[in-house]
Structure 1
Amino acid sequence: MTQRTPPSLLPTDLRPAPSRILVVEDSPLNQMLVTAILAQAGHRAETANNGLEAVMAAQAGGYDLILMDLSMPEMDGLTATRLLRDLPGPAGRVPVVAMTADTDEADRVRCQDAGMNDHVAKPVDRAQLLETVEKWLRASPPDSPARFGPCAPALPAAAGEVLDREVLAQLAQDLDAELLTDVLRQFVAETRDRVARIAQETDRNILTREAHTLKSTAGTFGARALCGAARALEMACRAALADRDGIEGERNGTADTVEDLRDGIPRLAGDAIAAYRAAGYPV
């Protein structure tokens, strides 16, 4: 029986080239976490801040896989994927995997209709991310049809639970201590800025996007109660926007719900920061 030589023992010039993956994500924190996970698995990860940057990068070719956030400024992930699928040659057939905190059936269908191949849930689960990445890197031919699997929704926050200890424990396994401290500090700084914008924002579309991003980053870093409140605020904003003239929303209390949820965000952010410190994280 012929034994294969492990790649790590092969001469440098005979080792397989690392896969080149484009991470399209507007949150620097999520960029840092995903690229760190991919690098640990031996992949070469590059980043784009929005869908427009992704399309421009993909035009040059050379990517084996694209991980695509959905809600981004400048150009969202669905629009970017439709444009990618119009590119000629291999660039238009690169597998695109959605990274999304929206996990219901309607969102799954939207991803598939846009030309995406699969999706992974946010907060990012290391095992699911790497399993999905490996599946599409092995897919042959590169234009294999989409094989969307179930995308489990995030668990609801337990009453009174500020931090999700399991998420923090997983982050401690995925990242070294110094990097984990750095990303938590950046999360705290980014959250303070975002909370200030949420408190002042009058445009409901922008407020929806800010709540969506806060939901994603808070979930990624285990701020469970804050994540749940941001999710509720995002849903309330979407409900208010669904009323074309806004009058019905005022009558049925949607506007009041938005304001009540908005008012609670700073307290929950403060609770999360205090809980990190109490747990020994120097944020």
Structure 2
Amino acid sequence: MTRRWREATYRPGRRWTAGRLPAVGYVASVGVLALAGTAAGVGIGAVLTESTSVDRTYQTLAALSDLRRQLADAQRGEQAFVLTADEHYLEPYTTAAAQVPPTLGELRVLIGAAHRRTIDDLQASADATIEYYGQAVTLLRTDGFTTARPAAYGTVGTETAARAQQLISDLHRDQTALLHAQRQRVADRAAHAVFFVVAAVVAAAALVTLSARRARAVAAPASSERPDATWHEPLRVLLAEDDEVNQQVAQFMLGKLGHHVDTVANGRDAVQAMRAADYDVVLMDVRMPVLDGLEATRLIRSELPPGRQPHIIAMTAGVLAEDRAACRAAGMNDYLAKPVRLAELTSALTPLLRTSPGGPARDGADDRDAAVRARMAEISDGEPRGPERTLIGAMLTSFTARTPAGLDRLARLITAGDVSGVRSQAQALTGSATDVGATRLARLLAGVEADARTGRLPRSPATMAAIRAEYDTTAPGFERLAGELTAVSR
């Protein structure tokens, strides 16, 4: 479905009084609202509740796939070190050893008490496997490869690793069966919701028919009072991901957001797909067979003309600043950590939405407003009401009042060559911009912060000029929205 963002003007509507409605017509209108509300509460609410369970199961399957890969990486790194005595080949084990504990913690939260004993067993097997590999590495370093027995060390942890992989397979099978059952329940409850809505409409129509002659005088609000609406077209997304479960999770999220998605399983196919068709966005897994995501991005950037260049977003389990720097150096525009969350994916795609002919575009202003309004709705869990409007309006006003001075300080620190100060100031400004939904400004500032973490500072004045220009473009929208919120709250 095509996503629609509505730019609310918060204009108070006209108040209808009982005196303007014939008595029977008033009763019929109340009946319409009551029946429609019951249908929505019983039917649609049940669908939404079950959809949340489906999302949770998808996340569980993704976490299981991540754990399977991490254990395999740990074994690969340890065995490569045993065979070569080269510390360089130990990196997969080191990375996996840091990733396994948080992944197990996430699984424990996602699966809950129903599989507690299985999760306990899985954690014990996974922890023992990592520990065995670590002991082998330590002994080889201590005893030396001349007196140690590499062949024996290359087989440590085999039993616990096999046990962990078997438990992962069992849980994956159970969660897949659960997912099928949940999706069937979603379909069934959606059908029930449609039935409830149709029943409500039919019953309401009968009530209205009884009082039609006396209720015709009731007029709808004038079209001039309706707020303008902005429609956004769906994005065409190329998903490059080799793991089948991760593919399904990403496809589900993108479909839920209303976007069109094509899927490939390696970097070579991603490059070929970009040669054959135009895409707005590429969600690029960094680690893929045949051709990895970094090299695929370099080929896309070097081969395609400027007019056909997509917005490329990296997807990787790496969480270090060096990982982000490598993605940026390859030509990627953005970065999503695995497992990808729906809220983070929405935030990354929102600034890229295009305005359709149904609503005029103002040099990207609509996209910026949509991102800000989406953030405000996230903060207030829906359209802000009452005191929330005053609070959010004050927050936007504070942002526009304090940011220019913050940008001036950042520029002075860059001129002075203060790398540590630039990193701290850029980090603070990035956080403030992200908090209020200024996503484009946040991305520019995040680039300065990431460079400062590696000891680099902007060499050209164009960097600060672009940041100031983005703020100058964004600020009027903040001021306008703050005024709307404040006016309605009075």
What TM-score do you get using the length of structure 2 for normalisation?
0.26
What TM-score do you get using the length of structure 1 for normalisation?
0.44
Larger radius of gyration: 2
Higher normalized helix content (fraction of residues): 2
